[in-house]
Amino acid sequence: MMTRIIKVDQDNPSQEAVQEGSSVLKKGGLIVFPTETVYGIGCNAFSAESALKIFSVKKRPADNPLIVHISNMEMLHKITRDVPEVVEERWKKFWPGPLTIIFNASPLMPAEVTGGLDTVAVRMPSNNLARSIIEASGLPVAAPSANISTRPSITSSEYAIQEFSGSVDLIYDAGDCSLGLESTVIDIRGEKPIVLRAGAMNAEDVSSIFGEVVIDDIARGIAYSENPISPGTKYKHYSPSKPLVMIEDDSLYKRIFRKYSMDRRFLFIGLDQMLERNGQNLISLGGSGDLREAARKLFSSFREIDRSNCLAGVIHSFPEEKEGLAIMNRIRKASIMVVRTESDFNRFVESL
Ligand code: AMP
Ligand code: MG
């Protein structure tokens, strides 16, 4: 398939660029576009046939539902059966933004989009290009993260073009995503809001809007279920092809870094304070004051493991609060083992 690649300013997109995407959606085609979280691969959410194309291009398991993206509240009412009062009252506090909410689905929603569930996950993105395309098409857009299943999500157009040229109708070459982690997915149908997937909106901020949240152990990445509320959480995710290991203890990470920082087999990924000297093979995730920079750079660092000549990536753990919660979820899912002792690491080195 011929893929059109359109260079565009994601904050200030031209009318032509927006129209191109809208017309692909209306014809049932696929677009790869930036959101503030990660790049998405999108189609008309009312079209079962188009949704099936996404599953086939991404090689995504059929029971893993797609998030539906909207640009106004009218669309929300069209794709859901009932909207809880708290959403009617407070939506301006979180939308547009990186929060996905589970609703009872309207019968108009194809099972191909909802993974056969009677619910639908919905979000209104803040990225200008994304919202303008949805608004121009007048269609809700079903869009999972634009990456082949199991691979790290894509946060820069360079990787989007590499992974999807030839398999979608249009790719926006729009640079980097501003947040770099997927949306937070919450379920507010029960007594207390539950975080099903930790993400770009902090649980602390979700609590300030909806009241105290329960953070599912699955959302932390420390539990597994064959039958979770959020089907996507049972699958392998975010993983580079080469092994990534996480070293749990900071002083152990520093010790191992000092010992191996000149060893080209390893790519060390971490905050500046953990990368004490200039090694050849390291990726800085920025300072520790604010983990937003680490969040923004995390997925590209995972992809860099595969692009570089190293044999494995080595990353440290993060405190599980604010952005750290989602960062740790991604690292736990992407890594093949947690290193707790020096001999754990030695065993890993021998296995390479
Ligand atoms: P992705 O778009 O690839 O980042 O993944 C979307 C996430 O949202 C997955 O973890 C899905 O399981 C979750 N999700 C989508 N729709 C629903 C739904 N109706 N109920 C629960 N989780 C959902
Ligand atoms: Mg994904």
DSSP calls for 196-236: EE--SS-HHHHHHHHSSPEE-HHHHTS---SS-SSGGGGS-
CB 70 within 8 A of CB 124: yes
What pLDDT shows up at residue 279?
67
Around Cβ 217, how many Cβ atoms within 10 Å? Answer: 11
Residue nearest to atom 10 of ligand 1 (CA): 232
Distance of CA 25 from the midpoint of ligand 2 (Å): 20
| pTM exceeds cut of 0.75 | yes
What is the third-level CATH fold of 4-189? DHBP synthase (3.90.870)
**Tens digits of per-residue pLDDT, 76-89?**
999 999 999 999 99
| Nearest ligand atom owner, CA of 219 | 1
Residue nearest to atom 20 of ligand 1 (CA): 230
Check pocket membership of 216 for ligand 1, CB cut-off 6 A: no
Partners of 284 in the beta sheet?
270
Question: Which residue ranges make up each domain of the chain?
Answer: 4-189, 244-351
Q: Which residues of the chain have pLDDT under 50?
A: none
**Tens digits of per-residue pLDDT, 245-288?**
999 999 999 999 999 999 999 999 999 999 977 667 899 999 87
Amino acid at 55: F
11 SS3 class: coil
Distance of CA 252 from the midpoint of ligand 2 (Å): 31
Check pocket membership of 271 for ligand 1, CB cut-off 6 A: no
Taking the C-alpha atoms of residue 118 and residue 191, their distance in angstroms, rounded to an integer, is 19
Tell me the CATH number of domain 244-351, given options 3.40.30.10, 3.40.50.11030, 2.60.40.10, 3.20.20.70. Answer: 3.40.50.11030
Check pocket membership of 313 for ligand 1, CB cut-off 6 A: no
Q: Residue 42 is inside which H or E element, if any?
A: strand 39-44
Partners of 312 in the beta sheet?
266
Task: Note whether 4-189 and 244-351 share their fold.
Answer: no
Structure tokens at 96: 């547009």
